[in-house]
Structure 1
């Protein structure tokens, strides 16, 4: 029997290579990598551990720590699922979707804390989220990006607009505190004044949506990476729903363990809200901004980090003020301790100065991180 020709012998190998190449293309289309599977598994395991420690009454510190870790990982998965789902709607709609869903874990924590009467924790957590993003996360992004890539330059128009809106939002949030501190006639109506400020801030947020939907081409990923890493729609929805449901349960356990853990560790409500709750519920999600800066994409990094703070000030804070009327024993007002207001104003002004010139160096990141550490230390004693 004659032997097969070289061409015939190579045909099966070609077929195998074609099938292998097709399989690789299918994997790249789904975009679901081993790292994604590990992240989902870690978040699920952390939520399960938090549930076991909570219902086994393992102690307030163990339950608090496990819930904080689980909440951080679930917040990252909510952000990842939102990003994947929004990537099919265009860059502007993605930003709007992220503003609506990205802060879900922190929203859950604050609602449960309001139901428990921890108004000071909620106030500190909201301000702490703004500080963590505007100072800590932005500082880390500038530090990592500067050390790896040298001086980084970015389009300053979009960051300047975000910084300007942030300063205006902080000014609006400070008015009730000033009215109370200066003993004006409005001091007797702090709840009504807070509601009025909340309505105005939501109106400003709604007015900013057309700009967000239009999106700035300077901060849009255009190198095909988003398409390459896209998950299937069903997977993005499943991760988003699962992480959101998990975050709702873990937030309840987290708040339940919060007060006993603070007493055991000797941590004040102000420091707990400003640092622990804020970082667990919000700032960890924005580690993507640090990764973008390290990959020398400062435009996109600035957009992610600055808009996160802006969304908290313009949307999350007023939503909680209005929601507290229905879910809390006492309404959440915007009359805060003066040091909280001063810290929020400092973060808005300093971050605005950093981004206004359109370039950054690693030393500016060190300065931002140092300021965050000083502010956090000032609240250690309450």
Structure 2
């Protein structure tokens, strides 16, 4: 599979450049850009997995989530520049839904087909549950409620304040997990000796591939953003659907694949850290950073989602917390999360 993605990337990047310069049909280029980004994301995923072998499940999962979200951050920045605020907010919603329901659901389902019961760190699960409740239900719902009685200026001021608080709390959460309480709530899997595992690539090679892949994704992502309007009109897709489903899946391709592979290998601490950790990073870091970055563009982006987006995200958080809070999972729980994702996907398509 690695060779296939390598061929796609080697062919896709030059095609993206040539097609962009020669103005090939937009719909065709949309497909080329999406496939190329997915192929490049696979390299980012493999590189972070190599680093995870050395760094351990928590830092490995964090690295995977960070570089996976870097793709979406890049796409969103270019979309902000074009004034596509609805697409950006929808892609953030899609990332939350995709990570909590699609990525976690597929991980639990695929892993559960091979193992009857899979366990992960219950203390991390409860810690993440609290942060999910805060980030989605408090920090995202409050601006929507208060914005009903505010003008645009006050709404933006509220969004900036909430964004700064979210970023600060996220950094403190990392400090808590990786420094002050590292190893305090250790799970059996984390305590095992993984020294026999050999990373696919050395540290230097992995970092080099990450840098090259990220730069290539940045170029292709900018071209992808310019196709959204034409593609939406061609297929009858709304900006909401493009953001929630298409951009979110393409932008998070790296961690999608990595989390499923880790679950299949019964490395559930890393799989859960990728799925839930990526969601927290989107909600508590990427979204607030995009709000602050939008201040430098003509159109600013308040942290105010539509009612369907909010209800979908809150529902996803509650379902995930109920399923994962016991620190173990099986294939049926994964199927439940996937069913929830399909229901929401149908809803957003029909809006």
TM-score if structure 2 supplies the norm length?
0.90
Structure exhibiting the larger radius of gyration computed from Cα positions:
1
**Cα deviations across residues 168-188 of structure 1 (Å, max 9, x unaligned)?**
10021121111123x2x5776
Does residue 147 of structure 2 align to residue 180 of structure 1? yes
Taking the aligned partners of 1:111 and 1:78, their CA distance within structure 2 comes to 19
Does residue 93 of structure 2 align to residue 127 of structure 1? yes
Equivalent position to 1:146, from 103, 112, 129? 112
Does residue 225 of structure 2 align to residue 255 of structure 1? yes
Unaligned runs of 5+ in 2: none
Look up the match of 1:352.
321
Q: Which has the higher contact order (CA 8 A, sep 6+)?
A: 2
Question: Are the aligned partners of 1:77 and 1:239 in contact in 2 as well (CA < 8 Å)?
Answer: yes
Look up the match of 1:245.
215
Question: Are the aligned partners of 1:179 and 1:187 in contact in 2 as well (CA < 8 Å)?
Answer: no
Q: Give the C-alpha shift of residue 95 in structure 1.
A: 4.7
Q: Give the C-alpha shift of residue 157 in structure 1.
A: 1.1
The correspondence of residues 213-362 of structure 1 with structure 2, limited to 5 A, is 213=178, 214=182, 217-218=186-187, 220=190, 222-224=192-194, 227-326=197-296, 328-362=297-331
The correspondence of residues 155-174 of structure 1 with structure 2, limited to 5 A, is 155-170=121-136, 171-174=138-141
Distance 1:221 1:54, change over 3 A: farther
Look up the match of 1:15.
none
Q: How many residues align?
A: 345
Q: Give the C-alpha shift of residue 222 in structure 1.
A: 4.2
Equivalent position to 1:50, from 16, 20, 24? 16
Unaligned runs of 5+ in 1: 1-34
Question: Are the aligned partners of 2:122 and 2:326 in contact in 1 as well (CA < 8 Å)?
Answer: yes
Question: Are the aligned partners of 1:268 and 1:381 in contact in 2 as well (CA < 8 Å)?
Answer: no
Does residue 175 of structure 2 align to residue 210 of structure 1? yes
Question: Are the aligned partners of 1:176 and 1:335 in contact in 2 as well (CA < 8 Å)?
Answer: yes
Q: Give the C-alpha shift of residue 229 in structure 1.
A: 1.8
Look up the match of 1:192.
157
Taking the aligned partners of 1:180 and 1:164, their CA distance within structure 2 comes to 25
Distance 1:91 1:340, change over 3 A: same
Q: Give the C-alpha shift of residue 129 in structure 1.
A: 0.5
Q: Give the C-alpha shift of residue 367 in structure 1.
A: 1.5
Taking the aligned partners of 1:55 and 1:125, their CA distance within structure 2 comes to 27
Taking the aligned partners of 1:243 and 1:325, their CA distance within structure 2 comes to 28
Distance 1:226 1:187, change over 3 A: farther
Question: Are the aligned partners of 2:62 and 2:278 in contact in 1 as well (CA < 8 Å)?
Answer: no
- RMSD, matched Cα: 2.3
TM-score if structure 1 supplies the norm length?
0.83
SS at match of 1:78: helix
